[in-house]
Structure 1
Amino acid sequence: MIINHNFKEMEQLKQELSFYKRFVSLLPFSFTYTDPDLRMELIKNEVQTVNLIKNSTAKNRELKITPTPIIPFEEIEIFLNEILDVVPHHIVFINSKGIVTLCNAQAAIDLHVDRESVIGKHVRELLQIPDEQIKMLETLRTGKPIVNQEILDKNYGIINTRLIKNSEGRLERVVGVFRFLNHIKEAEKQTLASRIAAGIAHEIRNPLTTVRGYLQLLQGRVDEETAEMFQSLLIPEIDRANKIITDFLRVSKPGTVKSEVLEVKDFFIHYLGHFLNSDALLHNVNITYKISEASANSFFIGDREELFQVFSNLYRNSLQARDDSTMDITISTELIGSTIFIEFFDNGVGIAPNLLQHVFDPFFTTKDEGTGLGLSVSKKIIENYHGTMSVESSPLGTRFLIYLPVYTGKVPL
């Protein structure tokens, strides 16, 4: 098994190497790149000729680009732009005056800017920090590249800069490659907060369970009016608090995943439909099931009760979003490659755009009653089965989109 794993890694490395060689050969300009750490030099003299020199004696890391007279450097950037848009890090080019000449898509997204508006502007307008904190400007001033330097300002991450010179040694561009780590830092904060909150919730639940037990014990020892208050008010409120804590712990801590093979048609028509259809009659709701022929006999992994909770939560949310007209709900499934796509659509009033991004946040709710944990728990359940859940909404209704992987193993008899 280890030999086979290593063979696959070697094949992958060969494919990646072939990819890079082909990419370099297609670049419409000549260049020389030297790396003193690796003691290697890459030279491209002609459009199709690439030479790699080992044991280079170069002392500085630099890239010299020689555009042909037909292709100005600006056109080279246009060529590179589409390629760099697929890189998941920030890549920015500036000229000798600090003006942004290239900004890839990821940088624009994370920095919340329209990149067309920052091209031609000074880099400080893109980064929104003082000039003395901008490492690309430091490289421009000193002529020295920066290697894997940690940045601790409002944009946390790792910065690398490079100098691009032409064949005459004149500086053409400073390239900045920034590994944006704000989301990782925020995730670490949220993880820590979740652990603390989960610990507090667990400690609260223990005394609540004790109090509930004593209330049940005292029910038979108090007068009828007090016993009724225990039964109708105090014990139900403790149970409600316990349920909130249980739901919260389910969101904040990884759950134990039950493995059960479910058939699409059987689950949605015979199991889920059996429960939802009865309630729909009571509330004057029309539920339509559109199970595609391709997906009907497909299988997926899940737990019936947990997945019922997911769609029950969506159903209750739809009821609360209904207007004066008849509520129509459509549950549809499609087979897309190795994924089962499930759509839950209602024709309710929709979710306001400014609230849409928060619907899966724990404790977020616009209702007078409710914990705001229903959708958080639902999303967690889907993710526990390696699926995804998202939402779209408009004044015409709300659409929940769920993707679950198809189960391709042996179906138990």
Structure 2
Amino acid sequence: MIGVETLTVEQLDFAIRHLRTHHEIIVSEWLDCAMIKKADPFYTEVMRNGKTTLYLLCQYLENPDIELIKDFTKKIAPERIEAKTDISEFVFNINSGRQIVHERIFIPDFGPNEQRWISLMINQFFDHLLYFAIKEFSALNDLIIENKNQFIQEMHNDRLTILGQIAASFAHEFRNPLTSIKGFIYLLGSELTPSPKTDYYTSIINSELENLQEKISQFLLLSKMKGLDDLISVFDLSACLHEMIDFMYPRFLEVKINLTANIAPDLKVEGDKNQLKQVILNILNNAVEELCDLPEERIIQVSAFLMGSRIGLEISNNGSQIPAHLLENIFEPFITTKELGTGLGLSVCKQIVEKHNGKIIVSSNEEQTIFSISLPQAQEKTS
């Protein structure tokens, strides 16, 4: 310490004896002003900790070793966590002890330099104590939060697993009756005398049954396991994209959407062609629905390209920005921006993409929302 003379051995011994003489008074005064409730489960231990603090201070004056301070904070920090002490109370209590020690350590026989040395050493000790105590306290709190988050995530995964099982059971129970209903509607239609009314009613029934079957298919696709009916093959994703754009073209015209496509040729992927078509269709449909009420020019952009050993696909629209609180969980089941949406479409997309060893992410700002998909490029088969 520059500009401050250290104490002689005799002066140091005298200062330590003086501190030990006031040991009980310091602890008592500290307990009176500290933020510690009588109901604190470690109340008795707190008194011991106060005495230990003074004992360590005396040792620090003789030999400034911070390892003992570190070890001590590993004891008191867990106690304060378990007692649900706020970190501000923790800091206040340590600084209260510092102030009381300063008040009681004044030694009339010491000159200004000796008294300054004592004060500096006390401050050093309490600074170390405060630093390591807060560090340990914060680390334990972070660990608790991490464990809670992990527990919540595990519960969430368990619920999704149960949801998948229920969805699969529900879908299978309803799919067969729907197939029968569709068949009998067809037979009934062939028996009825054709008329505009019967044709109109039959078309509505068939349309609604198609919608129900689509929702059932979405429930089935919520399962993360590869289905027995997956038709795996190597196919051209470029052709699939053009096919889906052509399929949606009447809808684009109806809603007056300006679509631009920049699709590289011969982008080969391996997987279930129909499932990846469903992903493209879902995202395009969502974009159209988002743009329906947009008063300005309505734009959808589709691009597909090769990036190393993977294929990139981006589908963007200039609709409203997805709110931040929804964006983070947009691929979770039942999360939707639509007033009457089920929140299954994007969840199904994510399941399908991940099942094909791919990734799907979304970004959204005031100008555009972009769904980005990355899939592994299919390896050429060697004979």
TM-score, normalisation: structure 1: 0.51
- Contact 2:303/2:315 (8 A) holds in 1: yes
Deviation track 1:265-310 (CA, whole Å, cap 9, x = no partner) reads 5554x54454455653443323333456xxx555322444433332
Farther off after superposition, 312-321 or 220-229: 220-229
2:173 maps to 1:203: yes
Q: Which runs of 5+ in 2 are unaligned?
A: 1-64, 80-133
2:94 maps to 1:121: no
Aligned counterparts, 1:238-387, within 5 A: 238-252=209-223, 254=225, 255=227, 256-263=229-236, 265-268=238-241, 270-276=242-248, 279-291=251-263, 296-322=265-291, 323-387=294-358
Q: Measure the CA separation in 1 of the matches of 2:203 and 2:267.
A: 46
Partner of 1:111: none
SS at match of 1:400: strand
Cα separation, partners in 2 of 1:236 and 1:264, compared to 1, 3 Å: closer
Partner of 1:63: none
Deviation track 1:84-117 (CA, whole Å, cap 9, x = no partner) reads xxxxxxxxxx7332279xxxxxxxxxxxxxxxxx
Partner of 2:75: 96
Deviation track 1:126-173 (CA, whole Å, cap 9, x = no partner) reads 4669xxxxxxxxxxxxxxxxxxxxxxxx849xxxxxxxxxxxxxxxxx
- Contact 1:201/1:249 (8 A) holds in 2: yes
Cα separation, partners in 2 of 1:214 and 1:290, compared to 1, 3 Å: closer
CA-atom RMSD in angstroms:
4.1
Structure ranking higher in strand proportion: 1
Of 158, 162, 175, the match for 1:192: 162
Structure ranking higher in helix proportion: 2
Cα separation, partners in 2 of 1:228 and 1:383, compared to 1, 3 Å: same
For the pair shown, which has the larger CA radius of gyration, 1 or 2? 2
SS at match of 1:321: helix
Aligned residues: 259
Cα separation, partners in 2 of 1:220 and 1:366, compared to 1, 3 Å: same
Deviation track 1:162-213 (CA, whole Å, cap 9, x = no partner) reads xxxxxxxxxxxxxxxxxx5653443233213321232133213333333444
Q: Offset at 1:387? A: 0.8
Deviation track 1:234-288 (CA, whole Å, cap 9, x = no partner) reads 44333322321122112236334333323455554x5445445565344332333
- Contact 2:77/2:136 (8 A) holds in 1: no
- Contact 1:321/1:350 (8 A) holds in 2: no
Deviation track 1:376-406 (CA, whole Å, cap 9, x = no partner) reads 2222222222111121112221111111012
Aligned counterparts, 1:121-270, within 5 A: 121=137, 125-126=141-142, 155=148, 180=150, 182-219=152-189, 227=198, 231-252=202-223, 254=225, 255=227, 256-263=229-236, 265-268=238-241, 270=242
Tell me which amino acid in the other structure corresponds to 2:235: L
Q: Measure the CA separation in 2 of the matches of 1:344 and 1:226.
A: 40
Cα separation, partners in 2 of 1:99 and 1:368, compared to 1, 3 Å: closer
Tell me which amino acid in the other structure corresponds to 2:256: N
Partner of 2:378: 407
SS at match of 1:360: coil
SS at match of 2:216: helix
Identity fraction in percent: 30
SS at match of 2:322: coil
Tell me which amino acid in the other structure corresponds to 1:312: L
SS at match of 2:232: coil
Tell me which amino acid in the other structure corresponds to 1:207: P
- Contact 1:350/1:393 (8 A) holds in 2: yes
- Contact 1:205/1:245 (8 A) holds in 2: yes
Cα separation, partners in 2 of 1:291 and 1:187, compared to 1, 3 Å: same
Cα separation, partners in 2 of 1:261 and 1:365, compared to 1, 3 Å: same
Partner of 1:388: 359
Q: Which runs of 5+ in 1 are unaligned?
A: 1-70, 78-93, 101-117, 130-153, 157-179
Tell me which amino acid in the other structure corresponds to 1:262: F
Deviation track 1:11-62 (CA, whole Å, cap 9, x = no partner) reads xxxxxxxxxxxxxxxxxxxxxxxxxxxxxxxxxxxxxxxxxxxxxxxxxxxx
Q: Measure the CA separation in 1 of the matches of 2:253 and 2:191.
A: 44
Aligned counterparts, 1:75-94, within 5 A: none
Tell me which amino acid in the other structure corresponds to 2:378: Y
- Contact 2:326/2:335 (8 A) holds in 1: no
SS at match of 2:252: helix
Cα separation, partners in 2 of 1:363 and 1:186, compared to 1, 3 Å: closer
Tell me which amino acid in the other structure corresponds to 2:284: Y
SS at match of 1:403: strand
Q: Measure the CA separation in 1 of the matches of 2:317 and 2:349.
A: 17
- Contact 1:291/1:332 (8 A) holds in 2: yes
Cα separation, partners in 2 of 1:210 and 1:351, compared to 1, 3 Å: same
SS at match of 1:95: helix
Q: Measure the CA separation in 2 of the matches of 1:353 and 1:404.
A: 26
Q: Measure the CA separation in 2 of the matches of 1:190 and 1:217.
A: 40
